[in-house]
Amino acid sequence: MSYEILAINPGSTSTKIGVYKDGNEILEETIRHSVEEIEKCGTILNQLDFREKVILEVLEKKKYNIKNLSAVVGRGGLLRPIEGGTYKVNEKMLEELRQGLQGHHACNLGAILADGIAKLLNIEAFIVDPGVVDELNDLARVSGLPEIRRKSIFHALNQKAVGKRYARDIGKKYEDLNLIIAHLGGGISVGAHENGRVVDVNNAFDGEGPFSPERSGSLPVGELIKLCYSGKYTLEELKKRITGKGGFVAYVGTNDVKEVYKMALSGDKKCKLLLDAMAYQIAKEIGRASVVLCGKVDAVIITGGIAYNEDIQRFIKKMVGFIAPFVVYPGEDELLALAQGGLRVLKGEEIAKEY
């Protein structure tokens, strides 16, 4: 039996959609939304109607018959911490996303849009591995201060999809492997995957771990405290310096790795140092993850947009190649990852979880 799945990934100024038949792409489209269109809505929740309307219009324009769909899968939003997997969209999930209990972000619209379109067709709606996936072991939660508990917020969708992809490629189960997976993009997260669970990972949302094109990474605590009380920045400005205006943006004014790399190749020593330092910190974080797994590592995998850069690949491999086989899956295909999660449930390979 064949299954066709609509995947929906809403961003701040775009909605990405894809239709997949048994995991193979039928169509993919990035729908851009103007700033005026977004601002006219006022709140993120008020964007639902026009986003759903434009999704259906694009599918009609592409001459796709939505009655062929078996399920709709949306990008998971800012929910309470949950373990990884594919989840049925239910009323409890929808209510919490509408209320923004963990924060308001465009990704919260993914499950709501999936549910709305699925109800039109009387089919199932799912989400897959949202960024709040939390499978940390108890040791990883302890920070050193009782007021602060370490959190798990990372690129769960891509990391989990890549782990399962690697397992398929070598003819094994993801749950039978110990993997270190580094997602290298605008933010960077490095997860220790032990038998299918991410038992330790840096909180990429708050800028922990290696610095990245737009995030500061972990900082010297004493110096950060001094900066907090320097009077130079407000709370919101400092939060932006950590996530959004840190990393390459803070040093050279751009989050475009290709641009920084181009400047480095043309002789800019500062840009060369920054690229090497980022790769150095990524490698250190991978080394830390190998200790979490007691050195029993089946593969070290790098993924995400930055993984396309062969010089960065080589730098990291030189430092961590001794740990385990070094594997590169560049890019991040989030729509496909969403569709694959739904497909596993429809085919009976995975049981959908209840939120």
Pairing mode of beta strands 178-184, 299-304? parallel
State the Cα–Cα distance between residues 142 and 65, nearest whole angstrom: 51
pLDDT for 295-314, tens place per residue?
Answer: 999 999 999 999 999 999 99
Residues 6+ away with beta carbon under 8 Å from 305? 184, 185, 257, 330, 331, 332
First to last CA, the chain: 28
Radius of gyration of the chain (CA): 21
* Reported confidence tier of residue 11, pLDDT bands at 50, 70, 90: confident
> 8, 113 in Cβ contact below 8 A?
yes
> Helix axis angle, 109-121 relative to 48-61, nearest 10°?
60
What per-residue confidence (pLDDT) applies to 102? 82
* Reported confidence tier of residue 36, pLDDT bands at 50, 70, 90: confident
State the Cα–Cα distance between residues 7 and 127, nearest whole angstrom: 9
Q: Is the pLDDT of residue 265 over 90?
A: yes
Residue 67 dihedral angles phi and psi, to the nearest 5°: -70, -10
Give me the residue spans of the domains in the chain.
Answer: 4-134+334-346, 156-330
State the Cα–Cα distance between residues 119 and 108, nearest whole angstrom: 18
* Reported confidence tier of residue 40, pLDDT bands at 50, 70, 90: confident
In the chain, alpha helices (H): 35-41, 48-61, 91-99, 109-121, 138-141, 156-169, 221-228, 235-242, 247-252, 257-265, 269-292, 310-320, 334-346
Residue 79 dihedral angles phi and psi, to the nearest 5°: -95, 180
What per-residue confidence (pLDDT) applies to 105? 85
Give the three-state DSSP class for 238: helix
pLDDT for 301-354, tens place per residue?
Answer: 999 999 999 999 999 999 999 999 999 999 988 999 999 999 999 999 999 999
CATH superfamily of 4-134+334-346: ATPase, nucleotide binding domain (3.30.420.40)
What per-residue confidence (pLDDT) applies to 173? 97
State the Cα–Cα distance between residues 58 and 24, nearest whole angstrom: 19
pLDDT for 169-196, tens place per residue?
Answer: 999 999 999 999 999 999 999 999 999 9
pLDDT for 103-136, tens place per residue?
Answer: 888 899 999 999 999 999 999 999 999 999 999 9
Residues 6+ away with beta carbon under 8 Å from 51? 10, 15, 33, 109, 113
Architecture of domain 156-330: 2-Layer Sandwich (3.30)
What per-residue confidence (pLDDT) applies to 68? 97
The DSSP element (H or E) to which 89 belongs, if any, is: none
pLDDT for 191-234, tens place per residue?
Answer: 999 999 999 999 988 879 999 999 999 999 999 999 999 999 99
Three-state SS sequence of 277-338: HHHHHHHHHHHHHHHHCCCCCCEEEEEEHHHHCHHHHHHHHHHHCCCCCEEEEEECCHHHHH
What per-residue confidence (pLDDT) applies to 179? 98
Count Cβ atoms below 10 Å from residue 10 Cβ, excluding itself: 29
> Average pLDDT of the chain?
95
List Cα–Cα distances, 40 to 30, 50, 106, 150, in angstroms. Answer: 21, 11, 15, 37
Count Cβ atoms below 10 Å from residue 43 Cβ, excluding itself: 9
Structure tokens at 167: 């397992």
What per-residue confidence (pLDDT) applies to 332? 86
Q: Is the pLDDT of residue 57 over 90?
A: yes
The owner of tokens 């480095």 is 264
If you average pLDDT over residues 235-251, what whole number do you get? 94
In CATH terms, are 4-134+334-346 and 156-330 the same topology? yes
Percent of the chain whose predicted confidence (pLDDT) is above 90: 91
